A and B are shown apart, each in its own frame.
Chain A
Amino acid sequence: QKEVEQNSGPLSVPEGAIASLNCTYSDRGSQSFFWYRQYSGKSPELIMFIYSNGDKEDGRFTAQLNKASQYVSLLIRDSQPSDSATYLCAVKGYSSASKIIFGSGTRLSIRP
């Protein structure tokens, strides 16, 4: 079992709709959760991070965390063609020496 699992996609969503990206992780001690966006040929860039159970909203993006279910998701409202990219889920343990583990990413395509 991979430590951080994501559906590779591609996930195709019509423009203006809500895109829902999901991620599960195996380490119950994980404390920090990140979503990165990576455009083709570019480097990953951080979109959001979340530490506490529940929802965290930032503009059109909402991260949701459920530690009991070991599940984290990213919702993108009013999807735009510019949101088409690969989204990487990343998880980090509690200690400062813990490394961040990345999922393999979900490819999202927003169709006009």
Chain B
Amino acid sequence: DAGVIQSPRHEVTEMGQEVTLRCKPISGHNSLFWYRQTMMRGLELLIYFNNNVPIDDSGMPEDRFSAKMPNASFSTLKIQPSEPRDSAVYFCASSPSGGAADTQYFGPGTRLTVL
């Protein structure tokens, strides 16, 4: 079975540009998570969805960040406008359930560099 798929794997952009990261969760999983990882701050949860509905977006750093999940097999994380401090690895993860027993499966990540 295919794991979590993310695209692009690498993105280099200039400050002020819009960036869109994409994620396809594992088929049948009903929870999807977006994380950001940096050396300074570690792995931070940005937002998560359950059955395509955003449950907790308290980790979204500011209004420049937005996330959507239009259907069970696709999600996007958009940054507009991007800033150099947004440079990080962004992971998408999915989970088969929202209960306490959930296990998250991570995608390969998108390495974002904002110049």
Contact = CB atoms under 8 A, between A and B. Distances in A.
25 contacts: A31-B100, A32-B101, A43-B91, A43-B106, A43-B107, A44-B43, A44-B91, A46-B104, A49-B101, A51-B101, A88-B43, A92-B100, A96-B50, A96-B97, A96-B98, A96-B100, A97-B50, A99-B45, A100-B45, A100-B104, A102-B42, A102-B43, A103-B42, A104-B42, A104-B43
A32 B48 contact: no
Given A88-B43, A97-B98, A102-B43, A46 B56 contact: no
Given A34-B103, A97-B50, 7 more contacts: A42-B108, A49-B103, A92-B100, A96-B50, A97-B56, A100-B45, A102-B43
Contacts, number: 54
Interface of A: 31-32, 34, 42-46, 49, 51, 88, 92-105
B45 A51 contact: no
A4 to B, nearest CB: 10
Interface of B: 33, 42-45, 48, 50, 55-56, 91, 97-109
Nearest to A96: B98
Closest 5 CB pairs of A and B: A104-B42, A43-B106, A96-B98, A102-B43, A32-B100
B109 A43 contact: yes
B48 A105 contact: no
B48 A99 contact: yes
B99 A96 contact: yes
B43 A99 contact: no
A55 to B, nearest CB: 19
A42 B109 CA distance: 8
A46 B42 contact: no
Contacts of A94: 100
Contacts of A105: 42-43
Contacts of B102: 32, 92
A45 B106 contact: yes
